[in-house]
Amino acid sequence: MIKGYKYNGHGDSGLFEWLLQRVSGVILIVVIAVHFFSMIKSGEWGLKSIVLGPLFALGIFHTLNGFKAITDDYVKSTIWRAIILAIYWIVGVTAAVLALKVVSGL
């Protein structure tokens, strides 16, 4: 454990992504468990907006931020990193729009 760590305000430090990855992960455990076990039964709770909303929003962020971390581990080229990040953004925005379509269609 790092004691006495203080955020110094660097915009590009990755601290916000790191923190949001952990917060979203903990929330996702709850909503995915509710969705999964509810869908096995009647699906009543699993299809509510209060479950699907955070599941899609935080799920897409958590997924693509995780993919970005993997990319940063294995891709050295700055240009390729930017290209792959742009692809992640396109996939993420598309998935978010489709998720809204799915939720609104329920």
Judged by the rule CB under 8 A, the positions of this chain that interact with other proteins are 1, 22, 25-26, 28-29, 32-33, 36-37, 40-41, 56, 59-60, 63-64, 66-67, 70, 91, 95, 98-99, 101-102
Q: Tokens 């489709």 belong to which residue?
A: 98
Return the structure tokens found at 59. Answer: 């799920």
Min CB(82)–other proteins separation in Å? 20
Min CB(63)–other proteins separation in Å? 4
Return the structure tokens found at 83. Answer: 């290209």
Min CB(84)–other proteins separation in Å? 14
CA pair distance 37, 30, nearest whole angstrom = 11
CB 51 within 8 A of CB 21: no
Residue closer to other proteins (CB basis): 9 or 74: 74
Return the structure tokens found at 31. Answer: 């909503």
Min CB(54)–other proteins separation in Å? 13
Residue closer to other proteins (CB basis): 81 or 96: 96
Residue closer to other proteins (CB basis): 81 or 91: 91
Q: Where are the beta strands (DSSP E) in 21-103?
A: none
Q: Tokens 């581990």 belong to which residue?
A: 73
